[in-house]
Structure 1
Amino acid sequence: MFRLSPLIRLTLLSLYFALTLPLPFLASVTQAPVSPTLLVVGMAIGAMALYAALTERVIVNEQGIQVTYPSWVPSLFRRGWFLAWQDVQALKPRSTGQGGLVYYFLSQNGEAFLLPMRVAGFARLVRYVQAKTGIDTTDVRPLAQPWMYLILLLFTVGLLLIDVWTIWTVNNQPPL
């Protein structure tokens, strides 16, 4: 079983909180038309939805490859799939809008399944795919390298520090 990389999960959750944390405080001090309570409820729902999306698991075994989510994740978010090894026809690259490459499994009946690229142990997953399908995967690389997420995490920590300063300033300011 391969889970989403902890670095990716931490970075994306931290970024979410860094972007949303000051909103209720700023809404109260600026007397925005949206109540701070409504913002907190919306942020909590958004955090749960993001966490649910980040619980993706990739299961590989002798029969095939499967993308799945825990049972507590609502079916609205679950877009899991299973592909038997004998049904894999090819692994095709497709360019993204930003110039990167993603890979799709093509099945015998023409369906395409996105190769999960954000899992911890991606190189091991790709070797397993090659062993089970016979498809050459030597050129398959993850879309984003770990150092990219580390840089994003560092900027997110900086943003969180600015958030703390913003919240402190809002709470220590005389009312308007």
Structure 2
Amino acid sequence: MNIFRISPIIQITLFCLYIGLTVPLPFLAKFTAAPVSPWLLCLGILLGAIALTAALSERVVLDDEKIQVAYPGWVPQFFRNGWSLPWKEICDLKMRTTGQGGLVYYFTTKTTERAYLLPMRVAGFAKMVNIVADKTAIDTSDIRPLAQPWMYLILFVCTMFLWLTDAWAIWSATHLIK
């Protein structure tokens, strides 16, 4: 059995971006006397962080019988639904372009008309694709991850600049104007 989780660089970058976008809100709400309570905003931010953690806890499990996208037991079923597909049901990987011009791949099956998205943001993507090729006899030589690590590094650097701006905004809201 092989388990592939979402790449740590993706997890860290997205969580840091979430923090950068939301943490200043309660301070700014207090400073501007917004009609929304800062405590309510803090609660919303906490619930959003839990939801983001749940979404980023996805894992891909490959064993001798199937490929499965699963989530930990603490993630409610209604929030994130996983799927499971036996290797013997897979007939092909179909390429589709995204709205931004990227390429994604879907497993197609012999018995249903449903398509299953190949997870592309996992650590060890090349190893996972090789296992898929071994189990299905599908040529996967042209399959590449949707986003390259350098894209997330650029987003992370921009997020750090956002954090600096946030620190200034929070400091200004709590110290400069009383």
Q: TM-score range by the shorter chain?
A: over 0.9
What is residue 174 of structure 2 aligned with on the other side?
171
What is residue 134 of structure 1 aligned with on the other side?
137
Pairwise CA distance, 1:174: 3.0
Give TM-score, length-normalised by structure 1. Answer: 0.97
What is residue 87 of structure 1 aligned with on the other side?
89
Determine whether 1:157 maps to 2:163: no
AA paired with 1:107? T
Kindly provide the CA deviation profile for residues 49-79 of structure 1, in whole angstroms up to 9, marking residues without a partner as x: 0110000000001001000000001112221
Kindly provide the CA deviation profile for residues 3-56 of structure 1, in whole angstroms up to 9, marking residues without a partner as x: 010000000000000001110000000001111111101111111001100000
Alignment partner of 1:158: what SS?
A: helix
Pairwise CA distance, 1:116: 0.3
For 1:28 and 1:43, the matched residues in 2 are separated by 15
Unaligned residue ranges in structure 1 (runs of 5+): none
Pairwise CA distance, 1:166: 1.0
AA paired with 2:157? L
Give TM-score, length-normalised by structure 2. Answer: 0.96
Pairwise CA distance, 1:132: 0.5
What is residue 6 of structure 1 aligned with on the other side?
8
For 2:63 and 2:92, the matched residues in 1 are separated by 18
1:69-148 correspondence runs (5 A): 69-108=71-110, 109-148=112-151
1:26-65 correspondence runs (5 A): 26-65=28-67
Unaligned residue ranges in structure 2 (runs of 5+): none
| Structure 1 moving runs of 4+ over 4 Å | none
Instruction: Using the TM superposition, name which of 95-104 and 72-81 deviates more.
Output: 72-81
Alignment partner of 1:172: what SS?
A: helix
Pairwise CA distance, 1:173: 2.1
RMSD after superposition: 0.7
Kindly provide the CA deviation profile for residues 96-147 of structure 1, in whole angstroms up to 9, marking residues without a partner as x: 0111111000011222000000100000000110011000001101110000
